[in-house]
Structure 1
């Protein structure tokens, strides 16, 4: 099954499930759905940063300071956060990510919108990111991430989540 065929829950303005549809249809029609963002820190408190592969359906080749993705049909935010963190970091046995806060992401042009939940996890395991998802990766100190905000092209939803996280 391709990523575009994956079935996701469609939600309303209050994040209540109102139906289901394939991911490709959700993206094409701009339907509200759910996503998770997991900030992964290593033992030295550095942040896992990566560049997405050019074949990603959304935001190809852009940098991100979160691992994560869409919440599958019938899946909880918590389960999706653990699944996505383990998949993208290429680890198993990760502690369950700690939920921090939800928010409704809306792109500047209003074409992209999804309910989002931000999490944090400590990853002391050696990472082996999925080559289908991650083109480059490193654990960077927060100060380095801050310096790179102005020079690298970041995924806009991750940047929105990061700005909200910093404001907390």
Structure 2
């Protein structure tokens, strides 16, 4: 059985509970929580998704995340996903929400930011992440349109980078 997610409307109000695979197959709007990680030198973590993943295998992303479980907040899901995918437990800061209708299915994407200390050893889940590195904002801007990024991640990253230092975005918006 697939993981259960909340089917939501265009205002992010819960309509019901569905299996995530069904939400994707039937284009049901659901929630995804993602976190952009930066270090104390303001470099941004960039990763390449594992080739074995069913969604966007081998694509680059600057966010770590996944589906928001039933009854879970965006922030709770973001913290859980960081622990599962990178092996770190750090606080996250909510930045913005983006209604994204492209990609494999429509989603509400709750974007967060976390500062990951250099002293923390990342332990990437090899089932999720094939490669990672830290890039400056300028380096990331150079590759954003050259590398094959996850579509929602690319859009969120454009907004994040456009906010100046990356820490100025806030509030909720529809994309």
Normalising by the residue count of structure 1, what TM-score does the alignment of the two structures yield? 0.90
**Aligned pairs, number:** 161
Q: CA deviation at 1:150?
A: 2.7
What are the equivalent positions in structure 2 for 1:17-166 lying under 5 Å apart?
Answer: 17-91=14-88, 93-94=89-90, 96-107=91-102, 112-124=105-117, 125-166=120-161
Q: Secondary structure at the match of 1:36?
A: strand
Distance 2:160 2:42 in 1: 15
Following superposition, which runs of at least 4 residues in structure 1 exceed 6 angstroms of deviation? none
Q: CA deviation at 1:54?
A: 1.5
Q: CA deviation at 1:57?
A: 2.2
Unaligned stretches of 5+ in structure 1? none
Which deviations, in whole Å up to 9, do the C-alpha atoms of 1:47-69 show, x marking residues without a partner? 11000011222111100011111
| Residues 64 and 82, structure 2, Cα contact 8 Å, conserved in 1 | yes
Normalising by the residue count of structure 2, what TM-score does the alignment of the two structures yield? 0.87
Unaligned stretches of 5+ in structure 2? 164-175
